[in-house]
């Protein structure tokens, strides 16, 4: 039995007790009225019982609905926490990519950014590790990018990937891991949720 079912079962039990209590009180009131005037008392007692049952049922439904909402809210909070943990783990693994695999990724990110920018001279920014890697294999990158002139810019705060800008510095393409993940946030979250929660 799930936690939600246990909560609903407990709420049902409490609501039944409330119904019982309200009915008992209604019966007591009906007995007093019967003593005063039998004919009037029967009609009054019937009305009180109907009202009590209606009120008790409404209260029971309200308690159950509130419990279901609370269970759903808690479930969503747990799911969000797990999704955030998976995203943090993905970022950690991206930081720790082996150098050769990371270089291949950088080539792809640079190439798509250069194509989007459509310039022959670009400046590249990234973290220290990435800039060193690019500088050490600049000839390989130029060949891959069909002789696009690459200038190494300053180091920036990023877990990986690149930002490139044109020579004038007025157009930038952000292909850092963070920016790409942000652009695909809803798709990433949807995929993680599907894997984790079905």
Mapped onto helix, strand or coil, the DSSP state of residue 12 is helix
Mean pLDDT of 124-131: 95
Site of tokens 């963070």? 178
> Tokens at residue 96, please?
């720790």
pLDDT above 90 coverage of the chain, percent: 39
What is the residue-wise DSSP string for 120-135?
Answer: SEEEEEE-HHHHHHHH
Question: Which residue blocks in the chain are alpha helix, DSSP H?
Answer: 3-36, 38-95, 99-117, 128-136, 138-144, 177-183, 185-197
Residues 126 and 134 sit within 8 Å (Cβ to Cβ): yes
pLDDT at 120 over 90: no
Position 1 scores a pLDDT of 64
Residue 36 CA from chain centroid, whole number = 64
Distance CA 193, CA 197 (A): 5
Distance CA 122, CA 114 (A): 8
Mean pLDDT of 114-134: 92
pLDDT at 4 over 70: no
First to last CA, the chain: 19
Instruction: Give the single-character DSSP code of 158.
Output: -
Distance CA 131, CA 88 (A): 23
pLDDT at 110 over 80: yes
Mean pLDDT of 167-183: 91
> Tokens at residue 143, please?
């060949």
């Amino acid at each position: 039995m799930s936690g939600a079912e246990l909560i609903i079962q407990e709420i049902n039990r409490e609501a039944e007790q409330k119904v019982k209590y309200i009915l008992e009180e209604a019966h007591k009131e009906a007995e007093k009225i019967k003593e005063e005037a039998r004919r009037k008392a029967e009609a009054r007692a019937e009305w009180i019982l109907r009202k009590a049952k209606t009120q008790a049922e409404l209260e029971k439904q309200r308690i159950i609905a509130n419990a279901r909402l609370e269970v759903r809210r808690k479930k969503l909070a747990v799911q969000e926490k797990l999704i955030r943990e998976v995203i943090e783990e993905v970022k950690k693994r991206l930081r720790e990519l082996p150098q050769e695999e990371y270089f291949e990724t950088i080539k792809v990110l640079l190439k798509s950014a250069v194509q989007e920018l459509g310039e022959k001279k670009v400046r590249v920014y990234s973290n220290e590790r990435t800039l060193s890697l690019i500088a050490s294999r600049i000839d390989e990158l130029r060949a891959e990018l069909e002789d696009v002139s690459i200038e190494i810019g300053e180091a920036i705060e990023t877990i990986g990937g690149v930002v490139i800008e044109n020579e004038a510095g007025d157009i930038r393409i952000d292909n850092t891991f963070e920016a790409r993940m942000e652009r695909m946030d809803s798709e990433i979250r949807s995929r993680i949720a599907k894997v984790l929660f079905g």
